[in-house]
Amino acid sequence: MKFGHLIKFLFVLIILIAISTQAQQFNGTWSCNYATYDDESNGVGINVSSLGVIKENTFVALAYSTNGGTDFLVGYTNADSAKGRMGFYPYNGGWHQHWMSGFDDVEMTGAVSIFATSDSLIYVANNDPSRNVLVFKLGSDSVYSTDYRISTGSDSIYTVTVDGNGITYVSTYPGEGKQGQVLVFNSITKDDNWSGLHSPTAMTRITIPDTGIIRGIAANSNGSVVYVSNYSTKKIYCYTGSPATGYTLYSGFNFTLTDTLTSVGGTFLSPGPWGLSFMNTKNILFVACANNFMLGAGYEYGRIYALNPNTGEILNNLDCAKWNYDQTGGYNQRSGGTVGNVSGYTSPYNVAYDEKFNLYDQSYFGWTVDKWLFSGTLPTIPLTITSVEKTNNLVPDKFNLSQNYPNPFNPTTTIEFSVNKSSNISLSVYDINGRLISNLINSAYFNSGNYTVTFDASKLASGTYIYILTNGVEKLSKKMSLIK
C-alpha cells in the first residue's frame, strides 16, 4: 500500500473508531420519574418481586412474599405514583391468585418472576407441583387467565422470558450442587400443547456450566443471543445459536459482579446479578443487581448496570440506593409511603423497559414499581456476535477457512471454518478498502471442531468483501461477493 493511501486508510480508521466509541457513550443521567405509592389506594400492598412492562406506564406487578403467603398479579394502566392500579387487593397480602381455564385450576405459588409482552400477555414462572408457566392477560380492568400454560417438569423454576417470536425461555433449579438449565419452548401460536395437553417437549436446553441459582434470562428479538445470570457465581453467561439448532457458550462475553460494600452499620454486602433485560433496537443488556432478600443493611446497595452486549463491559450505572439516599437523606426513608419519586427501600430484583426506552424496576421491600428516565439519548450498540453452530465434534486435520456459500449471495451467506486445536478465534469482515464491517467472532474461545457462521449483509451495498479468520498465530482470508 502506498504511503498516501496508508495515511488515508489510517485517517478513516481513526474516524470509524471514534464514531464507534462515541456511539457507545451514555450522555446523560437517570432519574426516578415515579414510584408507585405504598398505600391502599394505589399500592400493590405487599412485597413486589418482579414486573412486566406492556407499554409506557402500563405494567403488571408480581406480589410475592418469601413466607409463602402471597402470590398474585396487579395490573396498572396510565400509571404514575398516585394512580393507575386496576382493582382492589388486600393490603399486606395473604392471597394466592389462581389460573383457571374451564375446570382446569392452578394456584399461583412460589412465583418469583414474570415477563410481559407488548400484546398484554403475562408469563408466570410458577412452582406448583407441575412447575407450570402460566399465561395471563391484562384486560381493561384487571388481569385475567388465558387458556395457555405448560408443565416444565419436576425441577423448580425461577425466571421466564419471551423473545420477539414468542419463544419462551424458562430457568430450572434442580437443587444445591447441581447445574441449572434453560428450557426453550415453542410459542403459544405454534405449539398446541400450550392450550391442549400442556406438556410440550422443549425445543432445546441450555445447561449452565456452573452450579447455582439462575435468576435472570434475556434474549434478543430473534433468539440468536441468550443471556443467563447466575446469582451464586455472580456471572452472566452469553449463548449464541437458535431455538431450532441449539446454543453455544460465547466466551467473548465476560461479566462477573465484583461489587462489595460494608454498610454503615458494619455489615458486609456481597450482592449478585438478578433480572436481565435486553433492550432491542438499542442492543443494551441491563442487569439488576441486589442483595439476597436482605432487610436493613441491604437497602444500601441496589444498582442496574447497562452492559455492552458483545463483551459484557459495564457502560453505565443506575444507582438506585444512591438515588434514594440523595432524595431522602437515608436508605429507608419514605414517609407514609407517598414520596412520589423514591421507593425508599432499595431492592431491585428485576428490570424492564417500554417502547420509549424508559426503564422500570421494582423495590421488593419498598412494595413499589419504579419508572426511570434518561436525560440524554441512549446509544445504539451494534450486536456483532452472531449465531455460531458446531456441525460436528470431529477433530480437523488443520486450521481452515472455506469459501462462503452461496457466493455471490444476497443478503445472507454461510461461512464454514475448522479449528484443529482449542484456541481464541476471531472472524471479521472488511470491505475492499480495508474498512472493518463486522466482527462476527471477537476473540472467543473455541474447542476443536467444525463450525458455521451466518453472515447477514442486508444493510450493506453490493460489492466485494473480505473475511479473515485468525487464531492468533495463523491468519486465513477469502473474498465474497454481495449482489443485490
Asked if residue 8 is part of any domain, the answer here is no
pLDDT for 171-192, tens place per residue? 999 999 999 999 999 999 999 9
What range does the domain containing 448 cover? 386-482
Are 244 and 111 members of one domain? Answer: yes
Mean of pLDDT values over 252-280: 96
pLDDT, residue 11, reads: 45
Q: Which residues, 6+ apart, have CB-to-CB distance to 328 below 8 Å? A: 334, 339, 342, 344
Asked if residue 301 is part of any domain, the answer here is yes
Asked if residue 22 is part of any domain, the answer here is no
Note whether 86 and 142 are within 8 A (CB). yes
CATH number for the domain spanning 470: value is 2.60.40.1930
CATH number for the domain spanning 122: value is 2.120.10.30
> Which residue is associated with the grid cell 480437523?
396
From 316, 351, 374, give the residue that closes a domain. Answer: 374
Residue 23 has pLDDT above 60, yes or no: no
Are 154 and 76 members of one domain? Answer: yes
Q: In this predicted structure, which of 20-29, 196-205, 231-240, 327-336 has the lowest mean pLDDT? A: 20-29
Cell of 200: 410440550
Are 255 and 390 members of one domain? Answer: no
Residue 114 has pLDDT above 90, yes or no: yes
Are 130 and 95 members of one domain? Answer: yes
Asked if residue 50 is part of any domain, the answer here is yes
Mean of pLDDT values over 257-279: 97
Are 143 and 34 members of one domain? Answer: yes
Are 239 and 347 members of one domain? Answer: yes
Are 329 and 420 members of one domain? Answer: no
Are 200 and 72 members of one domain? Answer: yes
Cell of 340: 412520589
Are 63 and 201 members of one domain? Answer: yes
* CA 484 – CA 475 distance, rounded (Å): 29
Asked if residue 9 is part of any domain, the answer here is no
Asked if residue 379 is part of any domain, the answer here is no
pLDDT for 445-460, tens place per residue? 677 889 888 888 877 8
From 324, 352, 374, give the residue that closes a domain. Answer: 374
Residue 70 has pLDDT above 60, yes or no: yes
* CA 193 – CA 236 distance, rounded (Å): 31
Are 325 and 275 members of one domain? Answer: yes
pTM over 0.85: no
Among residues 179, 308, 307, 311, the alpha carbon closest in space to that of 251 is found at 311
Phi, psi of 11 (to 5 degrees): -65, -45
pLDDT, residue 191, reads: 95
From 348, 374, 400, give the residue that closes a domain. Answer: 374
Among residues 161, 167, 171, the alpha carbon closest in space to that of 353 is found at 161
How many Å separate Cα 305 from the centre of its chain?
12
Asked if residue 24 is part of any domain, the answer here is no
Mean of pLDDT values over 53-72: 95
Element (H, E) at 5: helix 3-23
Label residue 21 by pLDDT band (50, 70, 90).
Answer: very low
Note whether 206 and 218 are within 8 A (CB). no
Are 56 and 190 members of one domain? Answer: yes
Asked if residue 276 is part of any domain, the answer here is yes
pLDDT, residue 458, reads: 79
**Domain tally, the chain:** 2
For residue 372, the tally of other CB atoms under 10 A from its CB is 21
Label residue 94 by pLDDT band (50, 70, 90).
Answer: confident
For residue 95, the tally of other CB atoms under 10 A from its CB is 15
Are 369 and 391 members of one domain? Answer: no
